[in-house]
């Protein structure tokens, strides 16, 4: 019923930029928090950044100053602008939606997209 679809991943050179998008679809009234997580080979999934419906943001230390998260709540869409990309940013990036309000009830689970691969390499 609720689906998240990421887009914008790809291959980019170190120092380059990439903009990820994630659109949530379904009978959604609102989403409390939307965020981006990533999982690199051999590592656990980690939070990159998230943003609440009120605009409060949170960034991983490695992302501060380089990445910017934003959202268009009216369209249930979240973005991640990634600048000054480094090889260590290479990972599968997943979109997350938490606190999804559907038909007057908050769904007690988080939704995840299938991920989009970001590869930073020369």
pLDDT digits (tens, 9 = 90+) for 55-112: 999 999 999 999 999 999 999 999 999 999 999 999 999 999 999 999 889 999 999 9
Looking at every residue in the chain, the average pLDDT score rounds to 96
DSSP string of 37-88?
EEE-TTS--EEEEEEETT--EEE-TTTTTTEEEEEEGGGTEEEEEE-S--GG
Q: What percent of the chain has pLDDT over 70?
A: 100
Q: Is 105 helix (H, G, I), strand (E, B) or coil?
A: strand
Looking at the predicted structure, is the pLDDT value of residue 35 above 90?
yes
């Amino acid at each position: 019923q609720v689906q998240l679809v990421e887009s914008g991943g790809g291959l980019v050179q170190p120092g380059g930029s990439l903009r990820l998008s994630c659109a949530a679809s379904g009978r959604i009234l609102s989403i409390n928090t939307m965020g981006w997580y990533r999982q690199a080979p051999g590592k656990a999934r980690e939070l990159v950044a998230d943003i609440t419906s009120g605009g409060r943001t949170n960034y991983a230390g490695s992302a501060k100053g380089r990445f910017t998260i934003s959202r268009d709540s009216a369209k249930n869409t979240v973005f991640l602008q990634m600048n000054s990309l480094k090889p260590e940013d290479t990972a599968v990036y997943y979109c997350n939606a938490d606190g999804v309000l559907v038909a007057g009830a908050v769904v007690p689970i988080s939704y995840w997209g299938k991920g989009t691969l970001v590869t930073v390499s020369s």
